[in-house]
Amino acid sequence: MSTAVKNQLRVCLLSVKYNIMREMVNKVTFLTNISFMILNNASILVQWFILFRLREDVGGYTFREIMMLWGLTAASYGLSHILFARAFSLPELVIKGKLDAYLVQPKNVLISVITSSIRISAIGDLLYGIILMAFCRLGLREWILAALFLVTGTVVFTAFSLLLGSLSFWFLRMDILENQTVMGMVSFATYPDGIFQGLSRFLLYFIIPVGMAVWHPVHVLARFDAGMLLTVLGYTALLAGSSVAVFYRGLKRYASGNLMGART
């Protein structure tokens, strides 16, 4: 590993560590945020449990697959909001001209920006996701695949949000579209893909990439399919590359501002 990469990694880890330290200043809020997020997620799974007592499968999914779906969605969403939370609020920084602090530092701007914040309730999402996966009684190979899909899912959530957020360099109020689309993506991700057909299915696989973030991975976990695995890996790399390219293209249009509260 080159020194530059090592140094960048050191800054990223320090950034995440300090983000958590900042949130831990208020112990009560820190702990309640995490535990209530776990409870909130768990309450919805109860509905699924009741539904599966009435039917054997929903949209081609068994209860175990629904648990995998929820587990992977919660863990990917959680990890993306622990490591790269600022990617989900990029339009605010762009519109208010708050990228200056990152541009005067000798580190990668994009990585510095997206790792500069944390959503603390996301720790609850990540823990909940891991607990659910543990209940699915995965074998060693499935655990390795689940870890890989946690990484791809995190990248897909982050890159998709970054891509939409980067459009703020050209258009105002992209935060509305970005928020609604990402929240829509999370909502769709908690339903089996079998209930979506035709155009909506196409959109949910390729335009709002729910399919690549969680549906394909759950199918691979339930029944291994090398083609699907490669599709997920290829799509993730393509989406990540596109979002980074759009961000840097937009950065040249950055107009700065008179505010510079980078990590207030």
Partner 1 sequence: MQAIKVEHLSKTFRVKRKEKGMKGSIKAILHPQTEEIRAVKDVSFVVEEGEVLAFIGPNGAGKSTTIKMLTGILYPDGGCAKVLGMDPTKKRRQLAYGIGTVFGQKEQLWTHLTPYDNFRFFGAIYDLSEKETEIRIDELSNRFGLGDFINTPVRNLSLGQRIRCEIVASLLHRPKVLFLDEPTIGLDPVVKETVRELIRQMNREEHTTIFLTSHDVGDIEKLCRRIIIVNDGQIVLDDSVEHLKHHYPDHSLEEIITEIYKAKELTAVG
Looking at 5, 21, 39, 238, which residue binds partner 1 (CB under 8 A)?
21
Rounded Cα distance between 219 and 222, Å, is 5
* Closer residue to partner 1 (CB): 141 or 173: 173
Residue of 14, 134, 144, 176 interacting with partner 1 (CB under 8 A): 14
In angstroms, how far is CA 206 from the centroid of its own chain?
A: 16
Considering the complex, what minimum distance in angstroms separates the CB of residue 156 from partner 1? 28
What's 213's DSSP letter?
A: I
Give the nearest distance from C-beta 256 to partner 1 in angstroms.
Answer: 5
Q: In whole angstroms, how close is the CB of 10 to partner 1 at the nearest point?
A: 5
Does 55 interact with partner 1 (rule: CB under 8 A)?
no
Q: Residue 96, interface with partner 1 (CB under 8 A)?
A: no
- Cβ proximity to partner 1, 82 vs 239, nearer residue: 82
Task: Give residues with Cβ within 8 angstroms of 132, minimum separation 6.
Answer: 45, 67, 68, 70, 71, 74
Among the listed residues 235, 48, 258, the one whose alpha carbon sits nearest the alpha carbon of residue 159: 235
Closest distance to partner 1 from the beta carbon of 179 (Å): 22
Task: By CB under 8 A, name the one of 22, 64, 96, 201 that touches partner 1.
Answer: 22
DSSP 147-209: HHHHHHHHHHHHHHHHHHHHGGGTSTTHHHHHHHHHHHHHHHHTS-GGG--HHHHHIIIIIS-
Q: Does 106 bind partner 1 (CB under 8 A)?
A: yes
103 interacts with partner 1 by CB under 8 A: yes
